[in-house]
Amino acid sequence: MAPTKVVEVRYDHFGDGGFRHGCTFLRVREDKLPKNCLLEQVFQQSAIQDINAFIEAGLATAGANQK
């Protein structure tokens, strides 16, 4: 069975190659083709979010240390 639709979901955590908790449906993406939606994109976005959280935590700590 080949995918025919693309949907956008919100998720809380991604790990071990899959969604760790339930996902919330947001919308159908008529502007995307299934062949252009790859699991690697989720890995990249997850890594970016982890890096941003790390940077923000460091900035918050650095700001607290400067006072």
Q: Where are the domains of the chain?
A: 7-66
pLDDT higher than 60, residue 16: yes
Stretch 41-48: mean pLDDT, rounded?
A: 69
d(Cα 16, Cα 7) in Å, to the nearest integer? Answer: 21
Structure tokens, 16? 């071990």
Residue 33's pLDDT is 93
For 18, phi then psi, to 5°, come to -160, 175
Which one has a higher pLDDT value, 67 or 20? Answer: 20
If we measure between CA atoms, which residue out of 58, 66, 4, 54 comes closest to residue 29?
A: 4
Percent above pLDDT 90 for the chain? 19
If we measure between CA atoms, which residue out of 51, 35, 54 comes closest to residue 43?
A: 51
Residue 47 neighbours by CB distance under 10 Å: 10
The overall pTM is greater than 0.85: no
